[in-house]
Chains A and B, each alone.
Chain A
Amino acid sequence: AQSVSQHNHHVILSEAASLELGCNYSYGGTVNLFWYVQYPGQHLQLLLKYFSGDPLVKGIKGFEAEFIKSKFSFNLRKPSVQWSDTAEYFCAVISYTGGFKTIFGAGTRLFVKA
């Protein structure tokens, strides 16, 4: 069955630390990859997405992600986190191969200490 795995359920960092959140998917067809973020008390919103072209994607607020097809991975990175990055982060895969599928990971809760 198709799945999206986020390796870390909870991450605690100090401000200015570097961040990398892992995301791996198991799906053989053509995929479009997304990272969404949910700040406390707010709606889910898009951080960045990949659907073709340069596998290194830059998003809002200094986030980036790299699509590595051979590893079925789409890890999210930020060189220096801020307290305002405290949120829950979701990796998602959307595909039309074999019918419409949208699969979200379980989420990673990030807490940044000021």
Chain B
Amino acid sequence: IAGITQAPTSQILAAGRRMTLRCTQDMRHNAMYWYRQDLGLGLRLIHYSNTAGTTGKGEVPDGYSVSRANTDDFPLTLASAVPSQTSVYFCASSDSHGAGDTQYFGPGTRLTVL
């Protein structure tokens, strides 16, 4: 059972470039999430999706976009990367969008924007 996979594992990107971080889950979970983790700030929610075809904004959505064309995939796109987007990005999923549901996390993508 793979759970959640993220790609790439790490990436160095020039400022201004477009980048898509991939996230795939094989648990048939309805809800998916994208977080960024920064030292001293913990995890901050970027975007989420309750179910395929719907998305919502989290705490820090600016500069990021997401899509949820199907249940399994939830890509995160940086249209024009900036150095402040240097971070570790985690994708997560949960069975439903209930507040009590456990979120399962992927291994993360370490992104450096120069």
Contact = CB atoms under 8 A, between A and B. Distances in A.
Contact of A102 (B3, B45, B102, B107): B45
Contacts of B90: 44
A32 B99 contact: yes
Interface secondary structure of A, over-half rule: strand
B42 A44 contact: no
The range of chain B's interface size is 20 to 34
Interface centre among A9, A51, A102 (most CB of B within 10 A): A102
Contact of A106 (B3, B42, B48): B42
Interface centre among A4, A31, A104 (most CB of B within 10 A): A104
The range of chain A's interface size is 20 to 34
Nearest to A52: B100
B44 interface: yes
B2 to A, nearest CB: 12
A72 interface: no
Contacts of B106: 43
Interface string B29-63: 00001010000111111001000000010110000
A107 B44 CA distance: 12
A45 interface: yes
Contacts of A49: 100, 102
Contacts of A100: 48, 56, 97, 99
Given A43-B105, A44-B105, A100-B48, A105 B42 contact: yes
